[in-house]
Chains A and B, each alone.
Chain A
Amino acid sequence: MSQPSRTITIEQLNTFIADAGLHSSHLLHILHAIQQRFLHISHEAVNEVASHLGLPISQVESVVEFYSFFYNTPRGRYNILLSNCTSCGYKSGGENLLRMLCHRLRAVAGKTRGDGLVSIDETSCIGMCDHGASLLVNGMPITRLDADKIARIADLVETETPLADWPADWLRVDDNIRVITGDLTAASGKPSRMASSSTSGLLLNNDFVAGGGLHAMLARGIEGTLAEITQSALRGRGGAGFSTGMKWKFCREAQGDAHYVVCNADEGEPGTFKDRVLLHSHADAVFEGMTVCAAVIGAKQGFLYLRGEYRYLLPHLQTVLARRREQGLLGNSILGQQAFNFDIEIVVGAGAYICGEESALIESLEGRRGVPRNRPPFPVTHGYLDQPTVVNNVETFVAAAHIALCGSAWFKSVGTEKSTGSKILSVSGDCAAPGIYEYPFGVSIQQVLNDCGAKSVQAVQIGGPSGALINPAKFNRKLGFEDLPTGGSFMVFGQGRDLLTIIVNFAHFFAHESCGFCTPCRVGTTLLKNSLDKIAGGHGTQYDLDEMKRIGELIKRRSHCGLGQTAANPILDSLQRFPQIFEQRLAHGNFEPYFNLDGALEEARQVTHRDDAAAHLE
């Protein structure tokens, strides 16, 4: 591909779109290709794409404006996005690395530098939380940032060194699978030895041979395999916890022209990165779980919806898919079975947390903005193209593949009655050993804290910002559907952290990621964000706290989808469990206006060159 440039003729555009379309005609993919090549998606490009794909211009335009990684004005040839997550964000190490990089490159955050060389901005969590401060440069992750690395990055950019010539080990992303030694089982995957381990190696320690689950399924029969999945009592690992067996059964029974399997690899919840590791090191199990599901529900087509932040995993995943086709594990007549045809396409998102919500994900798959649908109907009956569709999390498919292989009894030997099996946790924040941990369900927060080497902990955020903020008095609570359900994010906040800053960060996250469909979330998340900024700025009063509680409860109860319904959780939790973090910042008195009256006069003072007492209100 030629060098990215921002100048385009319509002919160039047309040829380019036609070429990109040969590769994949998915709207998101074509737009991505244009973004890469021309550094933005111009109005002309929108019109051309619409005419190429036979879509309304407004649909293409609305998609471009929805996703964070599409821009309608040119970005720099180096487009740098620093994560603003509390664990992998540019402030997570104490210094403001964003400001530092902007300073070094003489760039203003959010704006493309005058010479078009570089643009620097922040982005929501990029899932590198166990690697410290991280960024994406032209889509490639660079982790473990510090002041020194920022300086070197600035030099490489300034000298226009191609990314391929940057230090290779910078682009390496480790799995950081933490194995707790002691009563840990061997890697053999034998059930009996696992049940007693404090960290369960149920999924991660099990050697999974590609095709093993499918062979076992054929031996057991499809009905029998569905029965195993149901009996295993496996519940969705994406956070919802719906019975996987039931979901597959409902979809299998639903009438439709075609059935679809969708793997939800959007993993946008800040502090979650276990799906990244599963996709990197256990991709066979993911695809095998999808293939087992396809056999059960009668699907011929599957999709893996990969978040844009994980685009760097695409070549690896494509390689695994290609190998599986060669091995007869995908494609036509899988394992020589005449009627067993199934293939998987990977669709890459473009920066939108809401696309992890299953119906928004389906909208995105269909080439639209990621706006959650009205339910009922549910995806199991009306999903992709309104056809019966199973949407499951990456980890759910991995577990299903293992259950197809080892059976339900093996799975149930670990965990609790209502939460069978294991949970893979993404542990990050203030601890000695951040990374991936696999535990039997029912493990206590304290146990995890001990294992990851977290000392003097102030609070733990379970399940990411949309989850629950837990105070030390409750560290005996247990992870599992009966007590504290979690999608896997486990963020540790030590005593040194300013909790209010974290709550402010989360409020900004939700306001930024709200899709804007429903009033309570669209307006409410911004109201909450503004209130918190006011309080953090020292201008808040008790009135603002009361208002946040009232608005927070309204958003939680009246919003359209899970994003709005959870967006106020960090605020409501901390108002209840950590009231002091707000109270110490309150201004005296009952009311302070949102804007500073005296500050508003500053411009007038400058124009009139006055700064005497009479030119001030106080």
Chain B
Amino acid sequence: MSAEANMTTTNTVTPNTINIDGQDIPFKNGQTIMDAALAAGVYIPHLCHKPGLTPHGSCKLCTVDIGSRSMSTSASDRRTQTKFSVDIDRRSVSACTTPAVAGQQISNDTPALNEVRKTITQMLFIEGNHLCPACEKTGNCTLQAVAYHLGMLDGHFPQFFPRREVDASHPTVMLDLDRCILCELCVRASREVDGKNVFAIAGRGINAHLIVNSPSGKLVDSDLETGDMAVHICPVGAILIKEHGYEVPIGRRTFDLHQVGEIGLEPVILAKARHTNE
């Protein structure tokens, strides 16, 4: 709880700029740190974020550290703040959900933070079943691309090998939850772009999993259609379009040709998912 957040006052900093790794970056009121960064061509690694959809803040890949002269707010529960000395001057926030506030001094592309992100990415790999060489998404997969970007060479932790379901009931769309990273991009795209409500997350903790909103719980009984944004937005190979495997050969796929850190790559990634050639 911190209504003080509203009371943040700035003192000597340039109005409406934040500073990321030493670079001053302008922002408009209402923008998040991520919005401002992307608009200025600064890449902050992210997986559950997609411009245009409501920010989510779950993957924590966009974790940045803030130290700010005008600091008076706290992002985390006050309970923790008082109980444990979270260093007020270097607090950790999700760039995708934290509003830009003038004067924020933000660390982003540092070895320490990239190490944290690498560990988080490893967590995402080992909690699911990601057999990249056998996955249609390989080369087009943002999770894989982020892993390469962060220099991740292995899963590091023992695999959880969860039992997850495949739903092949739908005529054109296939759901393989082995690869789902719970980013809820499909959940939001269905609600916010497609005007439907096809997906949701159920369960708790390590058992959290994607479910389909239909009487049988099967995709075939939902109102999902091939053209829906929800079908194309999955950053991994959990939602795939049937009968369109390997149309773009390995070696010519999105992340064979592009770096995940390139700004404005979204249309390219989506286009690939839609199976049109570049």
Q: Which residues of A contact B (CB under 8 A)?
A: 43, 47, 56-59, 61-62, 64-66, 236, 238-242, 246-247, 250-251, 352, 357-358, 369, 374-376, 378-381, 391, 463, 466-468, 481, 485, 487, 511-520, 522-527, 530, 550-551, 554, 556-562, 565-566, 569, 594-595
Contacts and interface: CB of A to CB of B under 8 A. Distances in A.
Nearest to A513: B205
Contacts of B2: 242, 375-376, 378
Contacts of A380: 1, 3
Interface stretch (B209-217, B243-251, B253-261): B209-217
B211 to A, nearest CB: 6
B158 A530 contact: yes
7 contacts: A62-B202, A66-B203, A238-B79, A240-B1, A378-B5, A466-B83, A516-B207
A254 B204 CA distance: 33
A466 B80 CA distance: 9
A246 to B, nearest CB: 7
Contact of A562 (B6, B63, B80): B80
B154 to A, nearest CB: 14
Nearest to B208: A516
Contact of A516 (B5, B55, B61, B182): B182
B1 A62 contact: no
Nearest to A359: B77
B78 interface: yes
Contacts of B99: 376
B217 A43 contact: yes
Given A57-B214, A240-B78, A485-B82, A523 B200 contact: no
B127 A516 contact: no
Nearest to A462: B83
B205 A522 contact: yes
Interface stretch (B116-124, B166-174, B230-238): B116-124
A556 B87 CA distance: 12
A62 B206 contact: no
Given A43-B217, A241-B78, A358-B1, 7 more contacts: A56-B200, A65-B211, A247-B1, A369-B202, A513-B205, A524-B123, A558-B63
Contact of A61 (B78, B197, B211): B211
Contact of B204 (A58, A65, A391): A65
Interface residues of B, number: 57
Contacts of A560: 57-58, 60, 94
A510 B80 CA distance: 15
Interface string B142-179: 00000000000000011010000000000000000000
Contact of A376 (B5, B197, B201, B215): B5
B14 interface: no
Contacts of A517: 58, 208
A83 to B, nearest CB: 19
Contacts of B31: none
A557 B75 CA distance: 11
B23 interface: no
A514 B58 CA distance: 13
A614 B73 CA distance: 65
Given A379-B1, A565-B86, A594-B158, A57 B207 contact: no
B58 A569 contact: no
Nearest to A246: B3
Interface string B1-13: 1111110000000
B92 interface: yes
B70 interface: no
A515 B204 contact: yes
Contacts of B107: none
Contacts of A526: 127, 160, 205-206
Contacts of B182: 516, 522
B1 A569 contact: no
Given A520-B120, A522-B127, A561 B204 contact: no
Contact of B83 (A239, A250, A357, A530): A239
A364 to B, nearest CB: 12
A56 B124 contact: no
B25 interface: no
B126 interface: yes
Interface centre among A64, A374, A512 (most CB of B within 10 A): A374
Nearest to B200: A58
Contact of A66 (B86, B119, B160, B204): B204
Interface in B24-64: 55, 57-61, 63
Contacts of A523: 123-124, 126-127, 206
Contacts of B63: 558
A511 B158 contact: no
Contacts of B199: 58
A519 to B, nearest CB: 5
Contact of B76 (A466, A550, A562): A562
Contacts of B226: none
A511 B75 contact: no
B97 interface: yes
A463 B83 CA distance: 9
B204 A565 contact: no
A570 to B, nearest CB: 12
B203 A65 contact: yes
A239 B79 contact: yes
B124 A519 contact: yes
B83 A467 contact: yes
A514 B60 contact: no
A58 B197 contact: yes
A566 B80 contact: yes
Given A58-B200, A376-B99, A378-B5, A515 B205 contact: yes
B70 to A, nearest CB: 15
A381 B214 contact: no
B82 A241 contact: yes
Most chain A Cβ neighbours within 10 Å, of B77, B120, B207, B217: B77
B1 A242 contact: yes
